[in-house]
Structure 1
Amino acid sequence: MQAYYGVFCPPREAILTGLANRPPETEILVAATDRIIAFAAFAAIYPGPGLQPGFFLKELYVAGSERGKDIGTALMKRLAGLAVDRGFGRIDWTAARANERLLKFYDGLGGDRKQDRVFYRLEGAKLKALAGR
């Protein structure tokens, strides 16, 4: 995944440590053969009183050699099943507007594009500045 996004890939030991120490509210579905070929990382969200909780899908990743084999669809079906089993009313996620193949995939799942929303991220120095640190 890091290669796909063009970001630094930490050593295996650091990856395993990070997975073991991830926030307890996060979950990961994994598709594997003799290696991990895909995963979906997500967390439960609570939108407020009187509103149904749901999942926020942070990352759905399928190895390039495995794309087009319905693995991403299988992971999303499993995630939808978990949401229904837990009484959750939705799954939210973001997608890069420039990735037409990805948008077509999500459209095919039945997801509705929410044009009235903008995705924001607060990180790094700006995050620390807002925190007063």
Structure 2
Amino acid sequence: SITIPRLTLPLLVLVCQSLLTVSDMITPLFRVDQSSTHVTIVMRTPYVKAEELEMDVSTFNVKFYVRPYFLSLTFKQPLKDDGSEQASWDVEKGEMSVSIAKLTPGEHFENLSSLTELLKKTTKKGDQELIQVLGGEGGGGGGDEE
């Protein structure tokens, strides 16, 4: 058997934690509800430190990370990406609840009960403009116009 001195144990834990990758993460049990103005994501995340929650909200994607859980959801309708999302933690239930405003209040988000659809990585390529043309015809930018 190997004996690890007490002084090196915190260092060993730190090294092991830094080796964790997304593949080592656990997808938490979750559900998605909606009101006329917000989408609410409730995740079962027992035994975590709520202050360690990291969240990234973009127009169609929401990502959550709180060790050891990782959840990435893709929505078909747009969310408001202005930092106004609200998170709360219910210690007794072990649930974290995050409320995100809809970009268009009153819009009904369909298929929120289809969790596999929400877990898909990206939206369809046709849903986003990948190149935006700025300026007029000619495509120049050299300033040789007469």
Q: Normalising TM by the smaller chain, what interval?
A: under 0.3
Could you state the TM-score of these two structures normalised by the residue count of structure 2? 0.24
Could you state the TM-score of these two structures normalised by the residue count of structure 1? 0.25
Give 1 or 2: higher helix fraction.
1
| Greater gyration radius | 2
Give 1 or 2: higher strand fraction.
2
Q: Which has the higher contact order (CA 8 A, sep 6+)?
A: 2
